[in-house]
Amino acid sequence: MATPDQYLGSLMVALVLLLGACSQQAPSETEATDGSGAQIVTSTPAHSEATCILSEEPLLVIGGDEEDDSQWFSWIRGIGRLSDGSIAVVDRTSAEVRIFDASGRHLRSMGQRGEGPGEFTDPFILWIAAGDTLWVGNTGVWSYTVFTAQGQFVRRIVLDPVYSRTSSAGGVLENGYTVNARQVGMRTPDFDVPDTMIVEIHDSDGKFIGNIARIPHLTYGHVSEAPGVGFYPLFEAGAEVDALGSTIVLAHGSKPEVQVLDDESNLQMIIRWSDPNREVTRADIRAWHEDYRERHSSSDWNQYDDAMISPERPVADAFPAMSSVKVGRDGRIWVRQYDRPREDRGWLAFGADGKFFCHMAQPPGDVWEFGADYVLLLHESELGVETVRMHRLTSPS
């Protein structure tokens, strides 16, 4: 395991900031290196028909049975698969972690609301680390409650210095270090100063080691229809962060690029891809406004709704290239392409070597975890019933 001094010697490599370099476009896959020695891999996914396919029917469904408390969820905030195929689920309302076997049978639960050993102040996220340890992030004073897969309480870790809010993104690495992100908002009313996403790394005891990056994030402001309501410009891009295993990924949605760091925060690779025709047109804005009105036609229209479609609300010049990025359990990098009005663009997958791997359509639900041959989803019915679903993932031959 690297020492804090070794980390501090390498942390600044990631500050080759995400908005600094010009995005490359290439007719085919190319490789190069930048000034730091990091590998640059550039591809054109539009030229590839390689497709990853999810099974139409889930292999496993957990939840939805009102007569079984263990199968009823009120607010799922974390899902993960353990090495033996069992599934861990965090339910925020009941303040529990529940473990189910590969057939969906409830095995055990751990935790409850409270501030004692093995209890949760407010469970907000679940990360599964090396050795199948379960790290549950708690809101309030941000901390991690750690359990074994068998349900034994290990310890509680409070970040030092204290996070007064939740970590916005990140993950726990194999070495027990955590990547945490906090958003610093300027909160000016006129959309002129962007927030900043500060990405930090903490050791296994929660002590601050250093900054990995400071990434411009979203821009906040008001319009005259709702002067007391703040929101962001339409189609604005933000910062994206994830961490898993020995990999940290950083991105900004404004450009088709992901920076890949190792668990010592050394920049190892830059993944770039071509994404042409991102210009936002009047037709795009009109379609978004029409769809918004249709989605909210049955609800009580209010000031906030007026503000959302206000002509004063700024609009980005270009669509974001992505809306999220995830590190798969097999080391692949998955990028959720930004959905334009009336267009579901799905996912792009890149191998651990940075080369384009496949396209994947967005499934019916929120993707929580990618494995080599499965995807874990959070599915919500029209009645608001939450279930966990696992689908088989078939890779292109």
- Contact yes or no for 321/256 (Cβ under 8 A): yes
Distance CA 44, CA 47 (A): 6
pLDDT bin (cut points 50, 70, 90) of residue 134 is very high
- Whether the per-residue pLDDT at 255 is higher than 50: the answer is yes
User: In b/e form, how buried is each residue of 365-381, taking b as 16+ CB within 10 angstroms?
Assistant: bebbbbeeebbbbbbee
Bridge partners, residue 53, by sequence: 394
> Nearest CA to 367 among 397, 334, 395?
334
- Contact yes or no for 328/372 (Cβ under 8 A): yes
In the predicted model, what is the mean pLDDT of residues 49-57? 97
In the predicted model, what is the mean pLDDT of residues 77-105? 95
User: Please, what is the average pLDDT of the chain?
Assistant: 90
- Express each pLDDT in 364-374 by its tens digit: 999 999 999 99
- Looking at residue 17, its pLDDT comes to 44
340 by Cβ neighbours in 10 Å (0-12 / 13-18 / 19+) ranks as middle
pLDDT bin (cut points 50, 70, 90) of residue 169 is very high
pLDDT bin (cut points 50, 70, 90) of residue 205 is very high
- Whether the per-residue pLDDT at 8 is higher than 80: the answer is no
With H, G, I as helix, E, B as strand and everything else as coil, classify residue 96.
Answer: strand
- Contact yes or no for 235/319 (Cβ under 8 A): yes
Asked whether the whole model's pTM tops 0.75, one would answer yes
- Whether the per-residue pLDDT at 13 is higher than 60: the answer is no
The residues spanned by each domain of the chain are 4-394
Q: What is 181-203 written as a DSSP string? A: EEEE----TEEEEEEEEEEEEE-
Distance CA 113, CA 96 (A): 8
Distance CA 310, CA 233 (A): 11
Region 4-394: CATH code: 2.120.10.30
Give me the helices (H) in the chain, please: 4-10, 282-295, 303-308
pLDDT bin (cut points 50, 70, 90) of residue 3 is low
Distance CA 155, CA 132 (A): 15
Distance CA 241, CA 170 (A): 6
- Looking at residue 53, its pLDDT comes to 97
- Express each pLDDT in 299-349 by its tens digit: 789 888 999 999 999 999 999 999 999 999 999 999 999 999 999 999 999
Distance CA 172, CA 133 (A): 10
In the predicted model, what is the mean pLDDT of residues 80-107? 95
Q: How are beta strands 123-128 and 106-110 bridged, if at all?
A: unpaired
User: In b/e form, how buried is each residue of 90-125, taking b as 16+ CB within 10 angstroms?
Assistant: bbbebbbbbbbeeebeeeebbbeeeeeebbbbebbb
- Looking at residue 374, its pLDDT comes to 98
More confidently predicted of 360 and 112:
360
Q: What is the DSSP letter of 306?
A: H
In the predicted model, what is the mean pLDDT of residues 105-127? 91
- Contact yes or no for 14/265 (Cβ under 8 A): yes
> Nearest CA to 247 among 147, 183, 148, 170?
170
In the predicted model, what is the mean pLDDT of residues 185-189? 79
pLDDT bin (cut points 50, 70, 90) of residue 152 is very high
Can you say whether residue 346 is alpha, beta or left, with left for phi > 0 and alpha for psi between -120 and 50 degrees? left
Share of the chain above pLDDT 70, in %: 92
- Looking at residue 28, its pLDDT comes to 56
Residue 216 belongs to what H/E stretch?
strand 208-223
Whether the bond between 161 and the residue before it is cis, its omega within 30 degrees of 0, is yes
Angle at 15 between CA 10 and CA 19, to 5 degrees: 155
